[in-house]
């Protein structure tokens, strides 16, 4: 056997897992189906001279210990912070949240002095909650039903950890887990634009609305991002999110891992309950004592592995695991900067995020349409213009705009077709043009990426950007299936390392890192 470990899939989690295993001295081979690494964390020159993070678009959740331990800056990772979030309003006004405390407070007070007062306390609470949850991100989630002594120890350790937290914090955490973002924010704020924009971070990547219970927790998930120790700071990777993958790949290679692209795996071979090798689409068979799948649970267990090799209840659990991709991406190449009616000048706000989320009701209505299988006629959008931060993304004087859009349900009534994709693209541009009238004239090229496209190109089932919904019944020790949340699988020697495992979601890398630790034992 040439390799100790074969990793199927060269997304950021597969690469992180490879880097950690190689660092520990394993001989690792990563097999990537496409001719480029990165999975959904991938940059491309989509139009001549214009580079985009085609799918994912910001960095906030990437675990700082991964950046540190894998020395990612040395391997070319450079993160440029996003300093503000602009929410244009239909009445021509705006709300800007600045990273500068005083500037932010003044702007909030302009809308509501009460909200300005509450804002700091709110931030402190979420900060504390994120800290309380953080140890959970570092470790495999123990199975509460297990009788295995090792897991019992982990359970007791976890129990002791939580008992050590103030009871008040536990209750606050419970609220976050069970409440809707809208109800949660209603307890703190009154400003519609503020509540709309804050609640938006609770719906990203899910087919849930801001009034759906459970979205308050996703709000926290997005507060967990920490860059350079600053909570809530979102950033943009120089060169696009592909640079994150490239840096992790470089670290893996520096430790001796081999990465092969254009090597689609068709099957994981199981003999006597043990994974022994993988078979590539070209018929080659590669053996290793440990096989790790970075693909999502459905592709891994209902595609790469034959069902008959798995227990029935496990297969049933994987079949009911929910994906329901709901988000799309629109990438625009612009001949000039958009001029937002509410803030037409070329100011620092253009280097931050722009959020089309004027109110909770606006987002909820967008969700109502998606619930019954239509895309939102007036969608939520989260926009960044990477060329403002990193001029190498576009030709001089020109710009790239990355628009994350919800909702675009994977299960669209009638299905996604080229015509529906363009119709959706028009909806996005038309909605945005209401806030920036020069936009339509500025567009040189447009790329629309629907959940169906994400599935087709990257292989994420139903186009779900988190490899499965982050809902309560699919989190912690239930992700992706009860009793199999610790990166192991019912097949000996087969592990999982994708976002479909705990903690999952975002360009975070925690799943890959935790899986490597579990494999190393």
Partner 1 sequence: MSDVVVIGAAPDELVAARLLQQAGHRVTVLQEHAVPDRLEGWAPAQIGRLPSKRPDPWLRTPDGLELFADVKRSAQSLRRLSGHDADRWPQFCERMARLASLLEEVYLQAPPRLIDLRFALRVRRLGRSGMEDLMRVLPMPAAELLGEWFESDILKGALGAFAVRDLQQGPRSAGTAFRLLHAHVGSPRGIFRPGTVDVTPLRAGLTIREAQVARIDVRGGAATGVTLTNGEMLPAALIVAGAHPARVLGQLVEPGWIDPDLLRAARHIRSRGVAARARLELERTPEWPALTLAGTADDVERAYDAVKYGRISERPVIDAVADGAAVDVQLQFVPHTAADTADIQARLVKVLQPHLPPIRSVSVRTPVDLERSYGWPQGQPHHAELSLDQALWMRPLPELSGYRTPVNGLWLCGPAMHPGAGVIGAAGHNCVRAMPRS
Q: Which residues bind partner 1 (CB under 8 A)?
A: 144-145, 159, 162-163, 167-168, 170-171, 174-175, 177-179, 183, 186-187, 208, 211-214, 320, 322, 361, 364, 368, 371-372, 471-473, 478, 482-483
1 vs 156 by CB, closer to partner 1: 156
Q: How far is CA 176 from CA 28, 31, 126, 130, 185, in A?
A: 40, 39, 9, 11, 10
State the nearest-atom distance from the C-beta of 368 to partner 1, in Å: 6
269 vs 478 by CB, closer to partner 1: 478
Question: Hey, which residues does 29 pair with through a beta bridge?
Answer: 6, 258
Angle of CA points 221, 224, 225, to nearest 5°? 115
How many residues does the structure list for the chain? 521
Cα 324 to chain centroid distance, Å, stands at 14
Q: DSSP letter at 238?
A: T
163 vs 271 by CB, closer to partner 1: 163
56 vs 112 by CB, closer to partner 1: 112
Provide the b/e sequence for 232-257 (b: ≥16 CB within 10 Å).
Answer: bbbbbbbbbbbbbbbbbbbbbbebeb
167 vs 312 by CB, closer to partner 1: 167
Specify whether the CB–CB gap between 479 and 505 falls below 8 A.
no
Report the SS3 class of residue 95.
strand
State the nearest-atom distance from the C-beta of 221 to partner 1, in Å: 15
Tally Cβ neighbours within 10 Å of residue 322: 13
205 vs 214 by CB, closer to partner 1: 214
188 vs 231 by CB, closer to partner 1: 188
Specify whether the CB–CB gap between 202 and 216 falls below 8 A.
yes
Report the SS3 class of residue 341.
coil
Tally Cβ neighbours within 10 Å of residue 271: 9
φ, ψ for residue 51 (rounded to 5)? Answer: -105, 145
69 vs 368 by CB, closer to partner 1: 368
Q: How far is CA 61 from CA 64, 66, 108, 224, in A?
A: 9, 11, 26, 6
Task: Tell me the torsion sign for CA atoms 356, 359, 364, 366.
Answer: negative
State the nearest-atom distance from the C-beta of 313 to partner 1, in Å: 9
Rounded Cα distance between 185 and 187, Å, is: 5
Rounded Cα distance between 235 and 228, Å, is: 10
State the nearest-atom distance from the C-beta of 172 to partner 1, in Å: 9
Q: How far is CA 226 from CA 81, 92, 156, 428, 443, in A?
A: 11, 33, 29, 30, 34
State the nearest-atom distance from the C-beta of 482 to partner 1, in Å: 5
Cα 129 to chain centroid distance, Å, stands at 20
Q: DSSP letter at 514?
A: H
Rounded Cα distance between 116 and 118, Å, is: 6
Q: How far is CA 211 from CA 81, 136, 173, 214, 361, in A?
A: 30, 26, 18, 9, 9
State the nearest-atom distance from the C-beta of 146 to partner 1, in Å: 9
160 vs 271 by CB, closer to partner 1: 160
State the nearest-atom distance from the C-beta of 161 to partner 1, in Å: 10
State the nearest-atom distance from the C-beta of 365 to partner 1, in Å: 8
Nearest alpha-carbon partner for 259 in 42, 37, 74 = 37
178 vs 261 by CB, closer to partner 1: 178
| Strands of 335-436, DSSP E | 353-356, 380-384, 399-406
State the nearest-atom distance from the C-beta of 416 to partner 1, in Å: 21
State the nearest-atom distance from the C-beta of 218 to partner 1, in Å: 11
122 vs 162 by CB, closer to partner 1: 162
94 vs 488 by CB, closer to partner 1: 488
State the nearest-atom distance from the C-beta of 143 to partner 1, in Å: 9
Nearest alpha-carbon partner for 63 in 216, 250, 240, 248 = 248
State the nearest-atom distance from the C-beta of 324 to partner 1, in Å: 10
């Amino acid at each position: 056997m040439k390799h100790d470990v074969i990793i199927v899939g060269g997304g950021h989690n597969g690469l992180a897992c490879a880097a950690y295993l190689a660092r520990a001295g394993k001989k690792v081979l990563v097999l990537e189906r496409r001719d480029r690494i990165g999975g959904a964390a991938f940059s491309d020159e989509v139009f001549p001279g214009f580079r985009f993070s085609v799918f994912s678009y910001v960095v906030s959740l990437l675990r700082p210990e991964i950046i540190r331990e894998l020395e990612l800056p040395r391997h070319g990772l450079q993160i440029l912070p996003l300093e503000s979030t602009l929410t244009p309003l239909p009445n021509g006004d705006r709300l800007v949240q600045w990273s500068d405390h005083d500037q932010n407070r003044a702007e909030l007070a302009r809308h509501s002095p009460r909200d300005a007062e509450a804002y700091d306390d709110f931030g402190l609470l979420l900060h504390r909650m994120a800290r309380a949850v953080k140890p959970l991100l570092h470790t495999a989630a123990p199975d509460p039903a297990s009788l295995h002594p090792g897991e019992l120890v982990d359970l007791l350790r976890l129990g002791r950890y939580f008992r050590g937290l103030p009871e008040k914090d536990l209750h606050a955490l419970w609220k976050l887990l069970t409440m809707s973002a809208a109800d949660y924010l209603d307890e703190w704020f009154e400003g519609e634009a503020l509540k709309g924009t804050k609640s938006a971070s609770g719906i990203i990547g899910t087919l849930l609305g801001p009034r759906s219970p459970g979205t308050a927790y996703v709000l926290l998930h997005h507060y967990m991002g920490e860059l350079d120790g600053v909570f809530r700071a979102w950033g943009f990777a120089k060169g696009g999110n592909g640079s994150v993958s490239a840096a992790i790949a470089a670290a893996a290679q520096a430790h001796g891992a081999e990465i092969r692209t254009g090597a689609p795996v068709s099957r994981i071979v199981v003999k006597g309950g043990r994974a022994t090798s993988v078979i590539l689409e070209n018929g080659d068979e590669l053996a290793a004592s440990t096989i790790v799948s970075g693909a999502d649970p459905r592709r891994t267990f209902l595609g790469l592995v034959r069902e008959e090799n798995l227990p029935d209840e496990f297969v049933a659990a994987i079949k009911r695991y929910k994906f329901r991709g709901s988000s799309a991406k629109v990438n625009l190449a612009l001949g000039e900067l958009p001029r937002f009616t509410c803030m037409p000048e070329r100011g620092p706000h253009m280097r931050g995020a722009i959020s089309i989320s004027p109110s909770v009701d606006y987002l909820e209505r967008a969700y109502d349409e998606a619930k019954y299988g239509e895309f939102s006629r007036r969608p939520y959008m989260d926009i960044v213009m990477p060329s403002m931060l990193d001029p190498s993304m576009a030709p001089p004087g020109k710009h790239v705009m990355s628009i994350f859009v919800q909702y675009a349900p994977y299960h669209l009534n009638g299905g996604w077709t080229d015509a529906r994709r363009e119709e959706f693209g028009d909806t996005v541009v038309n909605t945005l043009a209401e806030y920036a009238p020069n936009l339509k004239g500025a567009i040189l090229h447009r790329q629309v990426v629907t959940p169906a496209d994400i599935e087709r190109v990257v292989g994420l089932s139903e186009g779900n950007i988190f490899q499965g919904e982050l809902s309560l019944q699919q989190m912690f020790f239930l992700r992706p299936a009860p009793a199999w949340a610790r990166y192991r699988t019912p097949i000996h020697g087969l592990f999982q390392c994708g976002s479909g495992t705990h903690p999952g979601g975002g360009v975070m890398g925690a799943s890959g890192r935790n899986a490597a630790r579990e494999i190393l034992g």
